[in-house]
Amino acid sequence: MSRTGPLRRGELLIVGVLLLFVPVLILVATLAFLLIAEGLVLGELSVVELLELYVIELLLLAGGAYLLFRLLGYSIDTHLVDAPDGDGDAKRASEDESTGEESVETE
């Protein structure tokens, strides 16, 4: 089943919006916790400091997501090397013929 263009664009839009707003939610939760724990007074923070915190969280979230994506790709490549794809059986049969080995099928 192939994906259509608008559906793919919608998914990309959702991912982009989440990438922008999840750090804001994390920042709000962190500030709320600090306010409750009386470790922070909102008057002490300037707009520039809040913007710096947002950018730092955005970069950390994007970097962490990218690292998880790369780790997932690496683990799929290393652990599923022998997994057949759509024409995996035909590909293995042609490789066996070129090496002179016979394939053994079990049922």
Domain extent at residue 43: 5-97
Residue 104 lies in a domain: no
| Residues 31-90: tens digit of each pLDDT | 888 788 777 777 788 888 888 888 888 888 888 888 888 888 887 777 776 656 665 555
Q: Is 39 exposed, middle or buried (0-12, 13-18, 19+ CB in 10 A)?
A: exposed
Q: Which two tokens stand for residue 104?
A: 């053994």
SS3 68: helix
Residue 84 falls inside a structural domain: yes
Residue 102 belongs to a domain: no
Residue scoring higher pLDDT (17 or 3):
17
Q: What confidence score (pLDDT) does residue 77 get? A: 79
Q: Note whether residue 83 is domain-resident.
A: yes
Radius of gyration of the chain (CA): 25
Residue 105 lies in a domain: no
The answer as to whether 106 is a domain residue is no
The total domain count for the chain is 1
50 part of a folded domain: yes
Q: Which segments of the chain does DSSP mark as H helices, in order?
A: 5-36, 47-79, 88-99
Confidence at residue 102, expressed as pLDDT on a 0 to 100 scale: 54
